[in-house]
Amino acid sequence: MAVHAELPDHPYFPGTVMTLDPTLLDELASDYIARTSPSTRAMTRFLFGDAPVDLFDRIFSSSDPASLPTGGYLWVFHLSGYFGGVWLRDELARSGHNEAIAGFSVTPSEAAFSDETARAARALSAAAAERDELLAYCEATLFATDPPGLVDTFGYNEGYLLQIVDAPPEGLATPPRFVTCPASAADGPLTCTYATSRLQSLASSAEVSAALVRGDGAYRELAERIAPVQDAGVARGRTVWDGMLNVAGFSQEAYEQLLDISSAFLETVQATVLAAVRAVAERDELAGRRAAVADACMGVWLTSYLVGITDGRPGRALPTFSDDQE
């Protein structure tokens, strides 16, 4: 059965590396509906977790990632990030425990959208560049500070997920061993395991994690650089979600959906950062091209999420599924 994803109003401005691709979105939606039981289907789970995971698996299994239809991919990640932010803002406000976000609003702008897509364009340019330029990009994006690089992004989202797992809403429980991470990055840089791993391509990154732990060759210096950045990100993620924001007052359904979305995101960051590490440590061109394309998508996903969570205009709505009656 073909399914359409009906989209309400959302920020989009033409003329960038991002292109509208409703055919791709409907293909992803139809695949999701076909493999999901009616009792567990939800737009939130599809758009915020399932669709991005599917696209990341396509990137990490591609022998020529720079040739993928990335314009449409970026659009799906833009939708996922923006509406994910809108959904989370509503849940945070509804909980009654997040007055700061409920009273803050920034209207989406074309300038912000252009900045978002320009960053993606730089990553895609690196993905198609000569080897030295590509590998230089991969190393730079690991440790960037403005905006935060992949190592910091992994650490922050690790800390955020661990915090909401360790401190669930009163009366609710987290599934056992939902996510497991070393106490310190020095004990296992960029390494978390999941009770249910959804990103198939993450398994192929296990050898990179092991090489970082052993300190093989060029991996030793990278591990030493990674550990303090990752640990600082973890601490910041825990702090933000133990004060500025928190999940107190969430319903069981909202809490479980947030866990699902957050773990899917952390898996994709983990796969992306480990691909970049492999590229730098082994001068692996294919890993680098995959990492650069994934980084373009990751940047759009994150930036659009920030736009959505700060968009306090009334009447924000989420997409819906509709059957193709033709």
Condensed to tens digits (0 to 9), the pLDDT of residues 131-142 reads 999 999 999 999
pTM for this predicted structure = 0.95
Residue 138: partners with Cβ closer than 8 Å, 6 or more residues away: 126, 276, 279, 280, 288, 291, 292
Residue 19 has pLDDT above 80, yes or no: yes
Question: Angle at the Cα of 279 (from 278 to 281), degrees rounded to 5?
Answer: 60
β-strands 3-6, 179-180: how paired? unpaired
Dihedral angle sign, alpha carbons of residues 109, 243, 198, 289: positive
d(CA 200, CA 255): 24
Please compute the mean of the pLDDT values over residues 23-31 and round it to a whole number. Answer: 95
The helix (H) or strand (E) run that includes residue 179 is strand 179-180
Please compute the mean of the pLDDT values over residues 105-127 and round it to a whole number. Answer: 96
Question: Angle at the Cα of 185 (from 301 to 166), degrees rounded to 5?
Answer: 70
Least confident piece of the model among 28-42, 50-64, 162-176: 28-42
With contact defined as beta carbons under 8 Å apart, do 153 and 230 qualify?
A: no
Residue 100 has pLDDT above 90, yes or no: no
Of residues 294, 306, 273, the one with CA closest to residue 120: 294
d(CA 147, CA 299): 9
Query: Is the bond preceding 11 in cis, omega lying within 30 degrees of 0?
Result: no
Of residues 130, 131, 156, 154, the one with CA closest to residue 141: 154
- Predicted pLDDT at 1: 62
d(CA 289, CA 127): 5
Output DSSP code: residue 114. H
With contact defined as beta carbons under 8 Å apart, do 72 and 19 qualify?
A: yes
β-strands 193-194, 179-180: how paired? antiparallel
Residue 326 has pLDDT above 60, yes or no: no
- Predicted pLDDT at 66: 83
- Predicted pLDDT at 324: 58
- Predicted pLDDT at 209: 93
**pLDDT tier at 36 (50, 70, 90 boundaries)?**
confident
**pLDDT tier at 184 (50, 70, 90 boundaries)?**
very high
